[in-house]
Amino acid sequence: METIGLAFRTFAVALALLGAVWVAWAFAPGMFPSFHKAEPRTITVQGIASLDVQPDNVEVSGAVTTSAKSAAEALDQNNLVTARILEGLGADGIDRDKIRTQGFSITPQHPSVGASGYQQNEMITTGYVVKNSIKVTLPVGQYSGKLLDRMIRLGATNIDEVTFSTKNAVKFEDQVRALAAKDALRRATIAAKALGQRVGRVVKVDPETASESPMWRAENYTAPREDAVQIIAREQTFSSNLSVVFELEPAAK
């Protein structure tokens, strides 16, 4: 019985000690720092950057549209005008590999009946429209304004779009991201110093918001002019917005 009583008293003492440790851990965490790891202090900043780049290429999209009572007649007319444009551009020194077909369509024309359109007369045609869309891609220095004028005078019925772009977009996107990251570190360093802290490790980088300015466009030029059309390439802007979370550390003494 004495052995059982001794064991019971030993168990009670151990249980009391465990209780005391738990109370001390709960109410005096400083005694057990390994159990209470403080959350690191952090700061979140936005790194913003933009980069203006001169475009390399100019793309001119135009079309030849012809109409006739029969599809064959409209197609023949279209082929003649398109061939004249290709020959004229070739005479201006523009290689055929710089020109490509962007779209081609033959569309029957139907008589309309009130608000219902031509649904009731879809088997009746009044003629056909053929549209051949072409795109010319050139280095930006090769007189885009002159090209517009030449295409119209050679028979293009409309210029749909003129765009300027850069060939090395990926390179400039990487550059602007690096600039945004540096800007985030700069902002964090300034704020941390004002708070008597210093910037530590990077805790988190939120998904980047990157953008590229739309390629500058001149649209829907339809009438020829006495002088070549004045088209001036504008800079293309790449931008990046990066959210970065830095850990703050006590400033070095």
* Domain CATH for 204: 3.30.110.170
Residue 241: domain span: 42-53+169-250
Please give the structure tokens belonging to residue 240: 């990046």
- 46 in the same domain as 22: no
- 27 in the same domain as 107: no
Please give the structure tokens belonging to residue 126: 């009044």
What is the greatest pairwise CA distance in the chain?
A: 122
- 230 in the same domain as 136: no
CB atoms within 10 A of CB 133: 18
Q: Which residues contact 9 (CB under 8 A, 6 or more apart)?
A: none
Q: Give the whole-angstrom CA distance, residue 170 versus residue 162.
A: 22
- 225 in the same domain as 183: yes
Taking only the tens of pLDDT, the chain with its 253 residues reads 555 554 545 545 555 555 554 445 455 555 545 554 567 789 999 999 999 998 888 889 999 999 999 999 999 999 999 999 999 999 989 999 999 999 999 999 887 766 555 555 667 788 999 999 999 998 887 766 788 888 999 999 999 988 888 888 889 999 999 999 999 999 999 999 999 999 999 998 886 665 555 444 444 434 444 455 666 666 788 999 999 999 999 987 6
The answer to whether 222 and 148 have CB atoms below 8 angstroms apart is no
- 182 in the same domain as 160: no
